[in-house]
């Protein structure tokens, strides 16, 4: 087979896989928009709303490890096609749910679409040389922009036809995507893990403490992205009293760069290394979350002219700008974490990406519930950003002691060589 033929197939796989992941992510984030009228219809509190939006994220996270392993063993083409086809009935049935438990149960099956990340990541990476894998995984990961697509499409359908039309249209789109993916994707037996390698042998690398560190990083750059993508539409509606269509459009200012720019994060990771990109991502996220955490505040100061009241708080424009910067940082971070994986575990990308993806997905599941619980407990909407600020602190400290500090110590202890005069 000629090099030109290999290049053509690799690019075809990357393009169609990215399209499929975009559709899967759009479906996975569906409750971020339709959950708002459902919340009103069922009279849910903030915690119940958080659980509603998080249910698809739970199953999409739990299935990532087995899906990553199956991709290593059976190939990404067959696993991805079967996974997408399996979600179509559940997406369609969502339109007929009427009670809270209906939405929770059906949401679990819809959430299988989120497992597509652990299929496509090793699938596309193995079509490219190691020097281009960061780029390939970054382009594929840009399918996270399906969250923004959901914010553009769902509000239009919701306002025009009611929320039940959204899952019906999404089911049709998913079915069409299955056909397109199968027609334009390829299989390569050389990409499969040897048949004599057991599941247990594939999973041995998970005992490596580096994997736990990558899980923690990904729980904020991906889990935080998912959680905020689900939470921000209703945040804008409640905090700034915006129409749902305007709220969805502004929330897309976070979701869109947080997905599309992942490809640039992959290129930067290829050029400068995963460590440098991740280090700066954490610092930028820390600054943005610190500013976003400050609640709307009125305070009174006694002056020589009497009491004066001052207001401190972010307006909708500043808030959106900071959120967009945070989305860019998360996009770069999602790519850089997986560059770590492709560098450290080239022969076990599927299993490792599965466990790291599981951690990120569980972050996306737990955080919306905690957002709701904190809102019910404190009544402060920005408490969501306070929580994420603390998580980023943990990442920075962990990264400093395991990478930055270690590099400094090794540099001081390196032997010195002197040339005799």
180 belongs to a structural domain: yes
Whole-angstrom distance, CA of residue 128 vs CA of residue 119: 16
Structural domains in the chain (count): 1
User: What is the mean pLDDT of the segment spanning 198-224?
Assistant: 78
Beta-carbon contacts of residue 26 (< 8 Å; ≥ 6 apart): 146, 147, 149, 150, 153, 170, 173
Write down the pLDDT at residue 176: 96
User: What is the mean pLDDT of the segment spanning 85-96?
Assistant: 95
Give yes or no for residue 6 having a pLDDT over 70.
no
Write down the pLDDT at residue 412: 53
Write down the pLDDT at residue 355: 79
> Does 9 or 178 have the greater pLDDT score?
178
Write down the pLDDT at residue 206: 64
Token readout for 28 is 């996975």
Give yes or no for residue 45 having a pLDDT over 50.
yes
Residue 419 pLDDT level (bands cut at 50, 70, 90):
very low
208 belongs to a structural domain: no
Give yes or no for residue 1 having a pLDDT over 70.
no
Give yes or no for residue 178 having a pLDDT over 90.
yes
202 belongs to a structural domain: no
Cα dist from 310 to 83, 106, 197, 240, 262, whole Å: 55, 48, 66, 19, 40
Q: pTM for this one?
A: 0.80
Give yes or no for residue 418 having a pLDDT over 70.
no
Beta-carbon-side half-sphere exposure of residue 208 (alpha carbons within 13 Å): 17
Token readout for 202 is 């594939």
Give yes or no for residue 415 having a pLDDT over 60.
no
194 belongs to a structural domain: no
Cβ atoms of 136 and 368 closer than 8 Å: no
User: What is the mean pLDDT of the segment spanning 296-305?
Assistant: 87
User: What is the mean pLDDT of the segment spanning 400-414?
Assistant: 62
**pLDDT > 70: what percent of the chain?**
90
Question: 310 has which bridge partners?
Answer: 299
CATH number for the domain including 43?
1.20.1250.20
User: What is the mean pLDDT of the segment spanning 160-180?
Assistant: 95
Write down the pLDDT at residue 417: 45
213 belongs to a structural domain: no
Cβ atoms of 219 and 126 closer than 8 Å: no
Write down the pLDDT at residue 361: 84
Cβ atoms of 18 and 140 closer than 8 Å: yes
Write down the pLDDT at residue 144: 82
| Cβ count within 10 A of residue 325 | 18
140-154 residue pLDDT tens: 888 888 888 999 999
337-392 residue pLDDT tens: 888 887 877 777 767 777 787 888 888 899 999 999 999 999 999 999 999 999 99
214 belongs to a structural domain: no
Beta-carbon-side half-sphere exposure of residue 126 (alpha carbons within 13 Å): 24
Token readout for 157 is 């359908």
Write down the pLDDT at residue 86: 95
Write down the pLDDT at residue 262: 78
197 belongs to a structural domain: no
Write down the pLDDT at residue 208: 76
324-336 residue pLDDT tens: 999 999 989 988 8
Beta-carbon contacts of residue 94 (< 8 Å; ≥ 6 apart): 30, 103, 106, 107, 110, 167
232-282 residue pLDDT tens: 999 999 999 999 899 999 998 888 887 778 778 878 888 888 888 988 999
57 belongs to a structural domain: yes
217-235 residue pLDDT tens: 898 998 998 899 889 999 9
Write down the pLDDT at residue 4: 44
Residue 408 pLDDT level (bands cut at 50, 70, 90):
low
> Does 199 or 302 have the greater pLDDT score?
302
Whole-angstrom distance, CA of residue 408 vs CA of residue 421: 30
Write down the pLDDT at residue 194: 61
120-133 residue pLDDT tens: 888 998 888 877 87
Beta-carbon contacts of residue 70 (< 8 Å; ≥ 6 apart): 79, 119, 350
Residue 30: domain span: 3-186+219-412
């Amino acid at each position: 087979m000629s090099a030109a033929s290999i290049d053509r197939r690799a690019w075809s796989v990357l393009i169609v896989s990215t399209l499929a992941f975009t559709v899967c992510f759009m479906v996975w984030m569906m409750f971020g928009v339709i959950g708002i009228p459902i919340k009103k219809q069922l009279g849910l509190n903030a915690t119940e709303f958080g659980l509603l939006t998080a249910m698809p994220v739970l199953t999409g996270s739990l299935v990532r490890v087995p899906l990553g392993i199956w991709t290593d063993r059976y190939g990404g083409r067959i696993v991805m096609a079967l996974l997408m086809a399996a979600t179509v009935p559940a997406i369609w049935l969502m339109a007929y749910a009427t009670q809270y438990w209906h939405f929770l149960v059906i949401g679990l099956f819809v959430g299988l679409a989120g497992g597509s990340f652990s299929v496509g990541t090793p699938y596309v990476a193995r079509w490219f040389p190691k020097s281009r894998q960061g780029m390939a995984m970054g382009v594929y990961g840009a399918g996270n922009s399906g969250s923004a697509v959901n914010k553009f499409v769902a509000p239009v359908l919701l306002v025009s036809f009611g929320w039940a039309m959204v899952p019906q249209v999404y089911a049709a789109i998913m079915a069409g995507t299955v056909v397109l993916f199968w027609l334009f994707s390829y299989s390569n037996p050389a990409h499969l893990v040897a048949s004599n390698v057991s599941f247990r042998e594939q999973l041995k690398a998970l005992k490596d403490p580096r994997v736990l560190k990558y899980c923690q990083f990904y729980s904020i750059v991906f889990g935080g992205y998912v959680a905020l993508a689900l939470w921000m539409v209703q945040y804008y509606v409640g905090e700034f009293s915006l129409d749902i269509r305007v709220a969805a459009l502004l929330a897309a200012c976070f979701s869109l760069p947080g997905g599309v720019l992942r490809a640039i994060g992959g290129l930067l990771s290829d050029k400068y290394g995963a460590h440098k990109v991740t280090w700066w991502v954490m610092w930028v996220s820390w600054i943005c979350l610190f500013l976003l955490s400050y609640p709307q505040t009125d305070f009174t100061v006694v002056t020589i002219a009497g009491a004066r009241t001052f207001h401190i708080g972010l307006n909708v424009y500043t808030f959106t700008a900071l959120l967009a910067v945070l989305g860019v940082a998360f996009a770069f971070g999602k790519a850089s974490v997986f560059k770590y994986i492709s560098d450290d575990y080239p022969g076990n990308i599927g299993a490792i990406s599965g466990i790291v993806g599981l951690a990120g997905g569980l972050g996306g599941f737990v955080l919306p519930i905690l957002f709701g619980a904190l809102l019910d407990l404190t009544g402060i909407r920005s408490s969501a950003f306070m929580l994420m600020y603390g998580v980023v602190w943990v990442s920075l400290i962990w990264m400093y002691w395991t990478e930055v500090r270690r590099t400094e110590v090794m540099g001081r202890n390196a032997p010195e060589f002197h040339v005799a005069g």
